[in-house]
Amino acid sequence: MNGYQWMGKMLCLAMAVLGMVEIGTAEEIKSSKNELMGGRFLTLNTIVRVKQIEVTRDTSHGPDESEIHTPAEARIFREAIDKAWPGAKITWAFSWLALHDERQSYRELRELVVTYQKKFGDEITFIPGAYFSNMYNSREQVNRDLHEGLKRVSEIVGGGYRPKSVVAGFLSADNLKYLAEVEGIHVCQGNIWSQYAVDNGDGEGSICYPYYPSREHFCKPAQSEKDLIDCVNLDGWTVDFLAARIAGSKKVNDERWRSRQGVGPIETLLDMGTERGLEAMFAATSSHFDDGFKRNGFAWVTNGWEMCLVEGRKIYGYGGRNGMDGLEQWLTGIRKRWPDTKLITQGEFGELWRAHYKNNDAINYQFVHRGCGIRASEADKEIRWFMNKDFRLALLRDWKANSEEQVIDFTRYDEPAQEPADPENDKKSRNWSLMNRINQKGTRPQDQPKRLNELLDKDQELISKKYPELFGK
């Protein structure tokens, strides 16, 4: 510190003592520089596991992935991110088996990731049940897993470390409530927006940006203070809004159209190759960082890049690709195109949102997305989404033909909702979706698209109160 800096600091302190200026705490100063509104945010999560889908502590589905979960893969992955985005902070989520495997490779892997927490400020946390914990475990068991898994994370990192968030894929309302009230964790990646007929569980029906969940259903935004769970519910992967209409996947013109097409590598880089995959990824990213940013006042893109994908071609093929070149190019491209973007941990982003929004009353997310022309992101289609505490609404049209908009999704959140019961013996439900009026997947007879003026009068009235412009008012 030079003389001028020292004199300036002393003057500021003296003025503070005299009451002429107010000096905030370190936390207040820090938060003032890291506000939600006006920011573009990227979160990147990775999963470290032993088996592909560890549905309970001692049962799993899919192949053994231990040979591609080693310090070598972790180092390749983290160094690629640091090269493309110096200063980036990511979130590592360890499965139950990965936290407890005593083979040397896993001990060294855990030790290595701890160094990344110290060096980069990465977040280390726990994932229960490999995205599908409630499909295979009772709520009580999930709470035990969360408690003991988080305790194990703290032991591994040391120094009193405690993560700010949990990665869960899908997580029931009761378990989100437990996280907030017992574990003191107020951020969870607890829904996978639009996932239906994919992998081992369905959770269609939520909104795609952060919200406080209802005590009735994890996909439902809380309707009142009494109903509110103080655990911000986050999506797991940003997907293309047009691709999201598909239930799972379908073959079109000898290509596989997949609902999860967006920024994730499996449906883009590994499926399409680097050049075309990146085009699809940037299209989904731009939908939020360009138009979405203008409409919502902030923008968020999130990606789950499972660590097995670094060398997943050894087990799964993936056309011989591992997608790492694409990861570097995507991150580098974001920094170049949107240089103000912050790549922070999932917990940090959730806490920023929580600091700004005290409940769901002010939520009013809006998105307009035109297809990029790659597979399910049809170039002649335009979709408009409106998402708030009371409902979500999607309008679809052929913009090239200037056709009339059709309602393809109208989900009311002001009506009662209920999650499935705990699994018992062989009785379990993979479908934890929240569907009522019209759902974008089109899986039920009632999901046929309609014009706005064909909806029930009471539904039109609810929409009109929030968005009168949709009815020409």
**pLDDT, tens digit (0-9, with 9 covering 90-100), for 272-310:** 999 999 999 999 999 999 999 999 999 999 999 999 999
Q: For each of the domains in the chain, give its residue range(s) and CATH number, in order of start.
A: 40-356 (3.20.20.510), 364-471 (3.30.1120.110)
425 pLDDT band, cuts 50/70/90, is confident
- The pLDDT value recorded for residue 426 is 80
- The pLDDT value recorded for residue 33 is 54
Tens digits of residue pLDDT in 221-265: 999 999 999 999 999 999 999 999 999 999 999 999 999 999 999
Q: What percent of the chain has pLDDT over 70?
A: 93
* Angle separating helix axes 104-120 and 139-157, nearest 10 degrees: 70
pLDDT at 19 > cutoff 50: no
- DSSP string covering 404-470: PPEEEEEEESSS---PPPPPBTTB--SB-----SB-TT--SGGGS-B-GGGS-HHHHHHHHHH-GGG
| pTM of the full structure | 0.92
Backbone angles phi, psi at 289, to 5 degrees: -80, -15
pLDDT at 8 > cutoff 60: no
CA contacts within 13 A on the Cβ side of 244:
30
Q: Could you tell me whether strands 381-388 and 391-398 are parallel, antiparallel, or unpaired per DSSP bridges?
A: antiparallel
Average pLDDT, the chain: 93
CB distance 406 to 381 below 8 Å: no
Output the six-digit token pair for 263: 């920024």
pLDDT at 27 > cutoff 70: no
Q: What is the CA 168 to chain-centroid distance, rounded?
A: 10
Q: 123 exposed, middle or buried (CB, 10 Å; 0-12, 13-18, 19+)? A: buried
Q: Could you tell me whether strands 123-126 and 91-94 are parallel, antiparallel, or unpaired per DSSP bridges?
A: parallel
- The pLDDT value recorded for residue 5 is 36
Query: What separation in angstroms does the CA of 378 have from each of 244, 249, 301, 438?
Result: 12, 15, 21, 21
30 pLDDT band, cuts 50/70/90, is very low
Average pLDDT of span 99-123: 98
- The pLDDT value recorded for residue 279 is 98
What angle (nearest 5°) sits at the alpha carbon of residue 410, between those of residues 375 and 245? 10
402 pLDDT band, cuts 50/70/90, is very high
As a residue count, the chain comes to 473
